Amino acid sequence: MNPTENKTMQCGCDAPVAGIGGEGAAATIDASCRVPLLALFGGAALWLVLGLALGLAAVMTFHKPDMFADCAFLTFGRAQAAANDLLLYGFAIPAALGVMLWILARLSQAPLALPIVPVVAANLWHLGVFIGTATILGGGSTGHPWLEYPRAAAVLLFAAFMLIAVCAVATMGSRTNGELYPSHWFFFAAILWFVWSYGSANIFLQSHQQPRGVVQAVIDWWLTNNLLFVWLALAGIGIAFYFLPKIAGKPLASRGYALFGLLTLVFFGSWVGIPQSAPVPAWLPTVSAYAGLLSLVSIVAIAIVTKKTVCGACVKCSGGPFCFIKFGMLSFVVSSLLYVSEFCPRYSRVLEFTWFNFGVTQWQLLGFAGMILCGAIYEILPRVMGKELPFTKLAKLNFFLFAGGTLLFVIPLLIGGVEQGMKLRDANIPFADASAVAMKFLRISTTGQLLVLLGALCLLLNILVMTLQWKLGLVKTVVGVVKDSLAEGSAYQPLPCDKEAKP
């Protein structure tokens, strides 16, 4: 039994996985996830660091406008787009998929089905992200925000997702116990959502016969909302609803509220996303405004479940996974409220076209998805690898850097955005003054961005060292076996390698 396992069980309460088949079964399940998860998490952590570094390089343009004047690939428009996509496609989605696979295997009380499939998928996915990023930096972006990856990269991402979906469904199908846990619902929806929305948006926007005019923008807004708001929420909350009860040592507060939160999220949340002053027929923004209002219900329901589950838990978090996930859920509630407020006609008049939107998006990506995923990774990795994290202190430091950094990154942007919006609304104030106000806040926010980057480095270091140690161990075992067999002088002996250890 590894130490983390020990800690979570100390309350004597049963985890959501009722009656798990003993230590041996859990260890087999964890071992079956080892290679796929390392492939997904390792790449994700690398992309996270690169994305944050690229984002930092991009905003440097605002501190020193001529910094990259001769360097086409780091010009703001390219670097920023590549950084955003790295955070979403490079980090958030593959990391969430990895965590999902592990949770599904644990909930099924069965080893991961088809463990080779997600390994292939992870490599395809990372290849897609690499091609996409290189293309954007080289100037080949499609020009549709959050869908900048060219056709080749989009096809790779889609194929990889389909493979992982197959593995997830197969794992879900192999469960020994018929009952479904709330996380199952969220993951179901998340898998369906990505395949449908990413697939159809790409079919329309990347085909040779693109739809004419603003329909392109409408489809893009629809996709952006469905990925950044709905998909991240489905994946993130599904993960949180598994870990929170498990770590807190008590059952999820209310399945009813959780189901209600899920249904209202998918029914109303998916209609949000059309900006209020968009140059489209008025019914579109109006529908989005009402949908935004109605999705408040969902945010409240999820907040209630979380609060009831977390309150009174007999676990101290002190920078551990529990802290990460609690902070992530708090971020979900706050960032979603801010996000929805952008679609209220009254506020959108001020908030539109300012840094506010950028701030909210970063909060969703880093404060909510990033936090929950980092927490989940720190919780899962030691189990999957069967040993402690190499740098537990860095993992704790990661929490404080992420929490402080995200707030320092995002809150100035939000305040600056509001101020900028107020000034933009008043035609007597010159445009340059409105920009200057935002710049003041942007300078503070860059400090936060740097802290988040340092936090991400902690994550990368932990995963990287863990992977290296494991690979070194594999080599040692193989060498040892070969040596032994040579010493004995036996003609041939099959290597006792474990199946999962071979990527």
Partner 1 sequence: MKTGFSVFLAAFVALGASWFGLVYGPLKQLGVATETKVLQSDAKWPLQRTGDATLGLQVYRSAGCAACHTEQVRQTGAANVLTITEIGSHQPTDLKGFINSLAGSVTELMNSSNAVAANLAGWNGELPKVLYSGADDTVVSMLGDKLKAVGVKTEARVVATGADIARGWGTRQSVAADYLYDAPVQLGNLRAGPDLATIGVRAPDVNWQLQHLYAPRSLVKNSTMPAFRFLFAVQKIGAQPAPDALVLPKEFAPADGYEVVPTAEAKQLAAYLLTLKNNAPLYEAPFTPITAAK
Q: Which of residues 134-163 bind partner 1 (CB under 8 A)?
A: 139-145
Q: Which residues within the stretch 162-181 sit at the binding site for partner 1 (CB under 8 A)? A: 178-180
Q: Say which residue the tokens 């996830």 belong to.
A: 33
- How many CB atoms sit inside 10 A of residue 56's CB? 16
Q: What's the rounded Cα separation, in Å, for the pair 151 and 353?
A: 28
Min separation Cβ 140 and partner 1, Å: 7
Number of residues that bind partner 1 (CB under 8 A): 85
CB closer to partner 1 out of 247 and 415: 415
Please tell me whether residue 196 binds partner 1 under the rule CB under 8 A. yes
CB closer to partner 1 out of 103 and 438: 438
With CB under 8 A as the contact rule, the residue among 214, 334, 464, 474 that binds partner 1 is 214
Q: What's the rounded Cα separation, in Å, for the pair 79 and 85?
A: 10
CB closer to partner 1 out of 81 and 415: 81
With CB under 8 A as the contact rule, the residue among 10, 277, 286, 447 that binds partner 1 is 277
Please tell me whether residue 109 binds partner 1 under the rule CB under 8 A. no
Q: What's the rounded Cα separation, in Å, for the pair 174 and 101?
A: 13
Please tell me whether residue 281 binds partner 1 under the rule CB under 8 A. yes
Q: Which residues within the stretch 79-108 sit at the binding site for partner 1 (CB under 8 A)? A: 80-81
Please tell me whether residue 126 binds partner 1 under the rule CB under 8 A. no
Q: Say which residue the tokens 């589950």 belong to.
A: 309
Please tell me whether residue 488 binds partner 1 under the rule CB under 8 A. no
Stretch that binds partner 1, among 205-213, 367-375, 450-458, 464-472 (CB under 8 A): 205-213
With CB under 8 A as the contact rule, the residue among 9, 11, 67, 296 that binds partner 1 is 67
Q: What's the rounded Cα separation, in Å, for the pair 452 and 97?
A: 22
Q: What's the rounded Cα separation, in Å, for the pair 317 and 356?
A: 31
Percent helix, strand, coil in the chain, to 5, is: 75, 0, 25
Q: What's the rounded Cα separation, in Å, for the pair 470 and 224?
A: 38
CB closer to partner 1 out of 115 and 273: 273
With CB under 8 A as the contact rule, the residue among 41, 241, 260, 355 that binds partner 1 is 355
Stretch that binds partner 1, among 235-243, 279-287, 447-455, 471-479 (CB under 8 A): 279-287
CB closer to partner 1 out of 135 and 462: 135
Please tell me whether residue 446 binds partner 1 under the rule CB under 8 A. no
Min separation Cβ 325 and partner 1, Å: 23
* The dihedral sign for the CA sequence 134, 358, 66, 443: negative
Please tell me whether residue 414 binds partner 1 under the rule CB under 8 A. no
Please tell me whether residue 192 binds partner 1 under the rule CB under 8 A. yes
Min separation Cβ 204 and partner 1, Å: 7
* Type of residue at 477: T
Backbone torsions φ then ψ of 335, nearest 5 degrees:
-65, -35
* Type of residue at 496: P
Stretch that binds partner 1, among 4-12, 187-195, 293-301, 403-411 (CB under 8 A): 187-195
Q: What's the rounded Cα separation, in Å, for the pair 493 and 379?
A: 38
Q: Which residues within the stretch 233-262 sit at the binding site for partner 1 (CB under 8 A)? A: 259, 262
CB closer to partner 1 out of 66 and 488: 66
Q: What's the rounded Cα separation, in Å, for the pair 371 and 356?
A: 21
Please tell me whether residue 267 binds partner 1 under the rule CB under 8 A. yes
Q: Which residues within the stretch 321-350 sit at the binding site for partner 1 (CB under 8 A)? A: 349
| C-beta separation of 50 from 90 below 8 A | yes
Q: What's the rounded Cα separation, in Å, for the pair 300 and 98?
A: 28
| C-beta separation of 230 from 191 below 8 A | no
Secondary structure tally for the chain: helices H, strands E: 17, 0
CB closer to partner 1 out of 204 and 400: 204
Extract the tokens encoding 284.
């579109």
With CB under 8 A as the contact rule, the residue among 65, 256, 473, 480 that binds partner 1 is 65
Please tell me whether residue 400 binds partner 1 under the rule CB under 8 A. no
Please name the residues in contact with 433: beta carbons below 8 A apart, sequence gap of 6 or more: 423
